[in-house]
Amino acid sequence: MRSMFAFSANLSTLFTDLPLPARFAAARSAGFEAVELQFPYAHPAEELATCLRDAGQRLVLHNLPAGDWAAGERGIACHPDRIGEFLSGVEQAVAYAQALGVPQLNCLAGIPPEGVGREEALATMRANLRHASRALARHGLRLLVEPINSIDIPGFLLDRPSRAVALIEDLRQTQGLDNLFLQYDVYHAQRMEGELALSLQRWLPLIGHVQIADNPGRAEPGSGEIRYAFLFDWLERIGYAGHVGCEYFPTRKGVGGTQAGLGWLAAHGRLPSGARSGAPA
């Protein structure tokens, strides 16, 4: 039976032994017709569009600019002193999305800067989401909000799915932001709140994208405690029809590490939509 959802390969965490332009073809050879990126901005949009076209793929998601990632920043949406930078980032992200055919963009709240309390950070986040959501709506795009666990990233403003949902529901009801959705990362959700099956079902109308990795270690499904065979079947039962992004770090490092770990797809009775049964996944 063909799955209601489709897998997308996150090219920021998979096939990283290859330069980014070569990862598209590697993902396509593994059967992935959809891919996603954390941040595409180091490459011209035209170059990435060519990679997608040559590989016959869709780019289904990327993030808004999130500050200086290499320096440890994990989003600036909650920074009161960087609102101008955030708004410029929204414009840049929309331009990339239009050039690459991306239907939705993800926003990372970030860690409130020193001296900024939680309420001020949340007020800044609310205002920035309101602006970003309306800017994206003018182009037919959806805006996602992703909670990140505060064990891996201490101090992250929206560290639980329930907190992100409360913010999204409030903004939808009070501001009419009906293109605002949740990015549900199973790994982060498991670390903070668990109750994966019931929370996925409860919040399904608000979930715009799902991402996966196992716990502990954030590696391939099947490497840890999460029952992914059940969870994939559950996503079908509740009617999730979006993409499931493979945003994990392969257990095997170095050349060929991603390919060596893709056996989980067949082991869980799943293959990317472009793979043939019996062919290497």
Verify whether residue 225 is a known catalytic residue.
no
CA distances from 50 to 27, 44, 55, 99 (A): 15, 10, 8, 11
The two tokens of residue 104 are: 């939705």
Angle between helices 118-137 and 161-175 (to 10 degrees): 60
Determine the Cα–Cα distance for residues 95 and 268; give it in Å rounded to an integer: 37
Listed in sequence order, the residues at least 6 apart from 271 whose beta carbon sits closer than 8 Å to its beta carbon are: 31, 265, 277, 281
Q: Is 146 one of the annotated active-site residues of the chain? A: yes
Q: Which is catalytic among the residues 146, 220, 225, 236?
A: 146
List helix spans (H) across 138-239.
161-175, 186-192, 196-202, 228-238
Name 220's Cβ contacts closer than 8 Å, sequence gap at least 6: 213, 214, 248, 250, 251, 261, 262, 264
Which candidate in 33, 36, 220, 247 is catalytic? 247
Residues acting as catalytic residues = 146, 247
